[in-house]
């Protein structure tokens, strides 16, 4: 049994009999207090869609289970459209809608029943409610009825929006001969956002990317200084996002017919800065969650997703550049994860550790997520395409 097999077996335990997927605790049980959360349901649907493309038995049913939850379950707002953040939170967030697009795109590419209608609705909501064409960016959050838009702007949701629309473009290419124009437009959106975030804000600040912005996209470097360990909006430089943007620049480069040369240059620049400044920044092996603007550690907890994204970015750079140095880094960091993070009892990785390797709970409790680890495992040794689903389907 492979590492991916063990992870997927554990992830399948998140299936809720009433529909959707729940938040998994360290013992593999679902936390009933959390209800359903759209980001988890959508990410699990995406993961099982990828598993179906690999031919894993039972994955299609699990992916279909997720599609049904997103189209007919309580997270879907039948009155106003779109998806609530969770069964306890009716707000409409760009972050969760990006994952609804990704789930629909992967389900479509994988041939899961209901995938195409899900993708059509999710894309329509993303483009109609979140995409700001003047800014070339997505706005952040609406109230339940789409009447009040938050003043906050952020690049985390935009990062996942880039991932989602690239996957959507690949899905449209695969299933609809008349969707060439729509796919091209989605890739143009991804390029505009990546150019502003990576080639603009990150490059201008020597690869220290601000995460938080005002309504008119002025950086807010002190945002959440008093809540630095926030799981979605931490203060300072988020090391894992530097790696994630680096990898997404490579996916975007692969998806474009005539990609600008800066996409590879900037992917390397972001990666090298994150690796150099992040690794053992507090004299302990591993990557801390966040750094301040002078590269000093702020939140020193080790998050599994940060290491997964570091490995995935290194593996992608190895494929694109052919340089062994990136392959060696991917192997070294993955070995560190398997030694420190891997939980033999579950097949997943612990989501948070202290700098010395004990399980931590400052930001994350349990092991809710299969998304980052599954993608890390699936990217290894595969060609870089616009999306993982496209790479697997070929």
77-101 pLDDT tens trace: 999 999 999 999 999 999 999 999 9
Model confidence at 192: pLDDT above 90: yes
Length of the chain: 394
Distance from C-alpha of 46 to C-alpha of 52, rounded to nearest angstrom:
10
Residues contacting residue 267 through CB under 8 Å, at least 6 positions apart: 246, 247, 249, 250, 253, 313, 317, 320
Q: What is the rounded distance in angstroms from the CA atom of residue 241 to the CA atom of residue 261?
A: 21
DSSP code for 54 = T
| Residue 32, C-beta contacts closer than 8 angstroms, at least 6 positions apart | 22
Pairing of strands 141-142, 137-138: unpaired
Confidence (pLDDT) at 394: 78
Burial track 97-112 (b if 16+ CB lie within 10 A, e otherwise): bbbbbbbbbbbbbbbb
Between CA 284 and CA 287 the distance in angstroms is 9
What pLDDT score was predicted for residue 164? 99
d(CA 209, CA 54): 35
Distance (Å, rounded) from C-alpha 385 to C-alpha 252?
Answer: 8
Q: What is the pLDDT of residues 292-335, one digit of tens each?
A: 999 999 999 999 999 999 999 999 999 999 999 999 999 999 99
Query: What single DSSP character describes residue 286?
Result: S
pLDDT of residue 177: 64
Q: What token pair was written down for 206?
A: 């020597």
How large is the average pLDDT for residues 376-390?
Answer: 97
Q: What angle do CA 375, 380, 384 make, to 5 degrees?
A: 80
Catalytic residues: 241, 372
* pLDDT(172) > 90: yes
Let me know: does 311 contact 334? Beta carbons within 8 Å: yes
Can you give the pLDDT at residue 178?
64
Confidence class of residue 125 from pLDDT cuts 50, 70 and 90?
A: very high
Domain 3-393 sits in CATH at 1.50.10.10
Q: Tell me: pLDDT of 372 over 90.
A: yes
pLDDT tens digits, 58-68: 999 999 999 99
H helices present in 195-282, as ranges: 203-204, 239-255, 262-278
pLDDT tens for 193-236 read 999 999 999 999 999 999 999 999 999 999 999 999 999 999 99
Report the share of the chain in percent with pLDDT over 70: 99
Average pLDDT, the chain: 97
């Amino acid at each position: 049994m492979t590492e991916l097999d063990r992870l997927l077996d554990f992830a399948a335990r998140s299936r809720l009999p009433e529909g959707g997927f729940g938040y998994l605790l360290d013992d593999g049980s679902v936390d009933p207090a959390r209800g359903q959360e759209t980001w988890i349901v959508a990410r699990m649907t995406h993961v099982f869609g990828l598993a179906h493309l690999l031919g894993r038995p039972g994955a299609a049913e699990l992916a279909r289970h997720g599609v049904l939850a997103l189209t007919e379950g309580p997270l879907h707002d039948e009155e106003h459209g779109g998806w609530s953040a969770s069964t306890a939170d009716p707000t409409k967030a760009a972050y969760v809608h990006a994952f609804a697009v990704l789930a629909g795109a992967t389900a479509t590419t994988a041939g899961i029943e209901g995938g195409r209608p899900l993708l059509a609705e999710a894309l329509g909501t993303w483009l109609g409610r979140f995409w700001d064409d003047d800014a070339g960016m997505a706005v952040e959050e609406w109230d339940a009825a789409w009447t009040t838009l938050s003043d906050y702007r952020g690049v985390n949701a935009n990062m996942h929006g880039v991932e989602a629309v690239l996957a959507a473009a690949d899905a449209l290419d695969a299933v609809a001969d008349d969707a060439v124009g729509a796919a091209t437009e989605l890739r143009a959106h991804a390029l505009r956002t990546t150019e502003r975030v990576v080639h603009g804000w990150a490059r201008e600040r020597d690869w220290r990317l601000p995460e938080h912005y005002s309504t008119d996209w002025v950086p807010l470097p002190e945002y959440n200084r008093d809540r630095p360990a926030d799981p979605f909006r931490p203060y300072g430089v988020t090391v894992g996002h530097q790696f994630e943007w680096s990898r997404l620049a490579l996916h975007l480069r692969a998806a474009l017919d005539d990609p600008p040369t800066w996409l590879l240059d900037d992917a390397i620049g972001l990666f090298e800065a994150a690796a150099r400044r992040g690794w053992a920044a507090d004299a302990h092996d591993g990557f801390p969650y966040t750094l301040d603007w002078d590269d000093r550690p702020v939140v020193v907890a080790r998050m599994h997703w940060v290491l997964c994204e570091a490995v995935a970015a290194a593996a992608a750079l190895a494929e694109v550049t052919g340089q062994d140095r990136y392959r060696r880094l991917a192997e070294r960091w993955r070995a560190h994860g398997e030694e420190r993070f891997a939980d033999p009892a579950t097949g997943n990785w612990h989501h948070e550790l202290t700098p010395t390797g004990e399980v931590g709970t400052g930001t994350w409790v349990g092991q809710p997520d299969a998304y980052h680890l599954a993608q890390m495992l699936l990217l290894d040794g595969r060609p870089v395409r616009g999306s993982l689903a496209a790479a697997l389907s070929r």
